[in-house]
A and B are shown apart, each in its own frame.
Chain A
Amino acid sequence: MSSPALRKPPSLVALSTAFVLFWLIVAAFPFLWTMWGSFKVEGDFFSRADWMNALTGPVTLKQHGSPFTLDGYEGAWIEQEFWKAVINTGIVTFFVVTISLTLGTLGGYALARSGYKYTFWLLMAALVFRAMPHVTLVSGYLLPFFQMNIWGYLPTTIIVLVAINQPFTLWMLHSFFLSIPKDLDEAAMVDGCTRFQAFRLAIIPVMWPGVITTGLFSFLLAYNDFTVTSMLLSQDNLTMIPKLNGFLGSTQEDGKVMYAVAAVVSAIVPLFVLILFFQRQIVSGLTAGAVKG
């Protein structure tokens, strides 16, 4: 690689280094800043006097005797019962991921192995469904759900999120199963397996990389959802994101912005950990659709 033709002029090296640093600051600084600031009081994080206060925290020091405080977290998690929302988010994401992967692997496998014309139409329909703004669907749910008296419960929301997630899951697993050679399950069927046995014995053992990648995106969809959860869950059953939105109205006016800041940081941290462990899978998932068309 160190042939003279590939060596870059120093000015170009300096320019690209500067650009990468600039992009890193743009991408990461807001999060680090907010995380740091969440351990301060409002007078420091939103300082009228000097923005440096958010770093050093003189007001926090005066009020709490140390430059860091857990006040915001205490208020959000305990006083405003954010812990309930965290548990709800856990339940919703767990079931959404499990159910949509189960349905998705079965459906994606069928789409990848069937050569009939209707698979094309199903995939096109899924593409159109994927483009639907979620809030238009929600306006279709509300009235029937009120009528049937199933509005406001976690299971309803889970099923809805699974369905909204299906088009994406189907597309992704469909292209993943296409990359598994047909011979594998056909050989099993020649040996006397039924189609389902072939799926269970020959395909399931080799499908985990694709399933994990798809699962990550299902998780992100369920975890990040605001539209569906905020409209379909009752006040007691709210998940993290709509709960957090609730902090903004009245709480913000009471001088408790720091509750919202703490809650925002609490919602970001799990994503940090997720990216840390699954960076490779996330990148490969994002590009899977692109490379295979």
Chain B
Amino acid sequence: MKHKTFMAFIWPSLLAMTLFIALPILSVGYQSLFVEHEQILKTAETCGPFGCNSQVSIDAEAMAKQRAEQPAGRYNGLGTYTNASHLAFGEISEIVATSKDFNEIRNRIMNLPFYKALVFTLAYTFIVTPLVIVTGFFIAIVVDSIPKLFKGPVIFFSLLPMLVTPLVGSLVLFWMIDSRGIIGAALQALFDDPGLSLKASPTLTWITLFTYGVWHNAPFAFVVFYAGLQTVPKDTMESAMVDGASRWERIRFVTIPYLMPLATFIALMQLMDNFRVFEPIIGFSAAASATTLSYLIYNDLRAAESPLFGSAAATSMLTILGVVILLLPVLRRNWREFNRKS
């Protein structure tokens, strides 16, 4: 296809992606270098019959003017990146200097908002992803072995947790684990502890969120593996059987190696999706015990009086950096393949 025809076909797509994906990333980078204007204060003297007193108040007019002149705020360089709510270099060196042992260092660093979110995001990504692959694989193996008649309905219900909006899905579960909901009440009865609440302790909240993650994502792995199972070569399977391989050995030495590329694909998709986990935190009202990088950004933009654009932008840049690091192996592999071809 000629360059000109190619452009004629692709320009609307390219324009949309440039304007609303590439430029915003630049805009985030620019915004992260600025912080909100300081408040301009004015002193007004009010004199009454009992003498004068001066009152300090915010000069709304001057601030509005300043905002109109410099909408992004005042220049701060990399200050926002290193402040206490982001990378917090100052705080960390202080913590390391003043803490007694490693545990204390860890606990105090975990109280810094950025590191708290980063640790949870990474934990979620790297715990949920393997669990999803394993769970999905098991469901696929079992569903593949049931009579054909039941396969359709099973797949129908399996798709639900994945296709339902994360916020809606997490709310549905959240209401059930409420101490007055069915799962919450059942757990209380099971452990014979009327005070038990999954919302109370950070550890339980983490476990709840991981469980939600597996519940929400396992269907995806299941469907992909299930489709893969349909294409496992019959010849190989039969020769394994002739050689006397047991059921388990056939799965271990024929099915699993054959499905490995699919597992890589699922892992890639899951890493990307789990790294931006965000809605469950809202659905489970879990922000007190677990926050994620995306949630931090959302929270900054939702700040009560005025959005903290600078702070949100700095977290965004660090998140994008994380995504790129996560994708590097994939990009490198594609690059090698591409070079081999040309």
Contacts and interface: CB of A to CB of B under 8 A. Distances in A.
**A complexed with B:** yes
Interface of A: 5, 8, 12, 16-17, 19-20, 23-24, 26-28, 30-31, 33-34, 45-48, 51, 54, 102-104, 106-107, 109-111, 113-117, 120, 122, 124-144, 146-147, 159-160, 162-164, 166-167, 170, 195-196, 199, 220, 223-224, 226-227, 231, 241, 244-245, 248, 257, 260-261, 264, 267-268, 271-272, 274-276, 279, 282-283, 286-287, 289-291, 293
A166 B16 contact: yes
Contacts of A196: 5, 8
Interface in B95-120: none
8 residue pairs, one from A and one from B, having the closest CB atoms: A140-B24, A163-B20, A107-B13, A133-B276, A110-B9, A136-B316, A287-B227, A46-B180
Contacts of B182: 33, 51, 54
Given A110-B9, A163-B20, A220-B163, A131 B326 contact: yes
Given A140-B26, A248-B285, 9 more contacts: A106-B10, A116-B6, A133-B297, A139-B28, A139-B300, A166-B21, A224-B165, A227-B278, A274-B163
Interface in B297-340: 297-298, 300-301, 307, 309, 312-313, 316, 319-320, 323-324, 326-327, 330-331, 334, 338
23 contacts: A19-B142, A26-B215, A27-B158, A27-B219, A46-B175, A103-B13, A106-B13, A128-B324, A132-B320, A132-B323, A135-B294, A139-B28, A140-B313, A162-B16, A166-B13, A166-B17, A195-B9, A199-B9, A223-B165, A224-B166, A275-B159, A286-B224, A287-B223
B171 A135 contact: no
Contact of B173 (A30, A113, A163): A30
Interface in B163-211: 163-169, 171-173, 175-176, 178, 180-182, 185-186
Nearest to B146: A20
A135 B279 CA distance: 11
Contact of A140 (B3, B28, B163): B28
A188 to B, nearest CB: 14
Interface of B: 1, 3, 5-6, 8-10, 12-14, 16-17, 19-28, 31, 71-72, 138-139, 142-143, 145-146, 150, 152, 154-161, 163-169, 171-173, 175-176, 178, 180-182, 185-186, 215, 219-220, 223-224, 227-228, 231, 241, 247, 261-262, 265-266, 269, 272, 275-276, 278-279, 282, 285, 293-294, 297-298, 300-301, 307, 309, 312-313, 316, 319-320, 323-324, 326-327, 330-331, 334, 338, 342
A289 B22 CA distance: 24
A124 B9 contact: no
A283 B13 contact: no
Contact of B301 (A30, A131, A142): A142
Contacts of B330: 127
Contacts of B152: 279
Contacts of A282: 159, 163
A117 B6 CA distance: 13
Contact of A139 (B157, B180, B301): B301
Given A16-B145, A110-B10, A268-B168, A143 B72 contact: yes
Given A137-B21, A163-B16, A286 B142 contact: no
Contacts of B71: 143, 146-147
A86 B219 CA distance: 27
A31 B172 contact: yes
Contacts of A132: 21, 25, 320, 323
Given A47-B180, A131-B326, A140-B316, A34 B16 contact: no
Nearest to A287: B227
Contact of A267 (B146, B158, B165, B282): B165
Contact of B24 (A116, A137, A224, A287): A137
B320 A136 contact: yes
A134 B272 CA distance: 12
A223 B168 CA distance: 12
B172 A30 contact: yes
A120 B312 CA distance: 32
Contacts of B297: 133, 135-136, 138-139
A150 B7 CA distance: 29
A31 B200 CA distance: 25
B321 to A, nearest CB: 10
Given A136-B28, A244-B168, A275 B20 contact: no
B237 to A, nearest CB: 10
Contacts of B312: 139
A195 B28 contact: no
B278 A133 contact: yes
A93 B140 CA distance: 32
A54 B176 CA distance: 11
Given A51-B185, A107-B14, A135-B276, A30 B342 contact: no
Residue among A51, A164, A267 with most chain B CB within 10 A: A51
Given A27-B158, A137-B25, A283-B227, A111 B10 contact: yes
Nearest to A275: B159
Contact of A107 (B10, B143, B167, B172): B10
B155 A283 contact: yes
Contacts of A102: 12
